């Protein structure tokens, strides 16, 4: 899988900015078929940083209603990437 197809977008929330400042951890929405090794290589080559650890979580899509019709948003995968102490990513 190509590096640019692994990373979909960075997740910028209040909690993710706190994690980035305190622990050096950054959150990304990634391709659901990608594994930890592919995510690590994609982050390292895209942002020129050294990745220490990757944690992933499969997120279930929320149930939504439009009128009388019930539907579901798509499932997605979240990756939290921990960097070495001397590296950081300027997302904000």
CATH number of the domain enclosing 55 = 3.30.70.330
What's the pLDDT at 92? 64
Task: Report if residue 42 sits inside a domain.
Answer: yes
**Would you say residue 88 lies in a domain?**
no
* Residue 89 lies inside a defined structural domain of this protein: no
Task: Provide the residue range defining the domain that includes 73.
Answer: 3-83
Backbone angles phi, psi at 39, to 5 degrees: -65, -45
Give the chain's domain count. 1
In a structure prediction context, what are the per-residue pLDDT tens digits for the chain, which is 92 residues long?
788 899 999 999 999 999 999 999 999 999 999 999 999 999 999 999 999 999 999 999 999 999 999 999 999 999 999 999 999 998 76
Q: Is 78 exposed, middle or buried (0-12, 13-18, 19+ CB in 10 A)?
A: middle
Q: What is the pLDDT of residue 2?
A: 82
Instruction: Please check whether residue 19 lies inside any domain of the structure.
Output: yes
Task: Tell me if 92 is assigned to some domain.
Answer: no
pTM of the model: 0.89
Q: Is the residue at 90 inside a domain?
A: no
């Amino acid at each position: 899988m190509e590096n640019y197809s692994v990373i979909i977008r960075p997740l910028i929330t209040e909690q993710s900015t706190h994690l980035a400042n305190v622990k050096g951890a950054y959150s990304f929405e990634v391709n659901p078929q990608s594994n930890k090794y592919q995510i690590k290589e994609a982050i390292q080559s895209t942002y020129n940083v050294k990745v220490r650890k990757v944690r992933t979580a499969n997120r279930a899509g929320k149930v939504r209603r439009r009128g009388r019709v019930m539907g579901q948003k798509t499932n997605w995968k979240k990756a939290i990437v921990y960097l070495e102490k001397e590296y950081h990513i300027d997302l904000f």
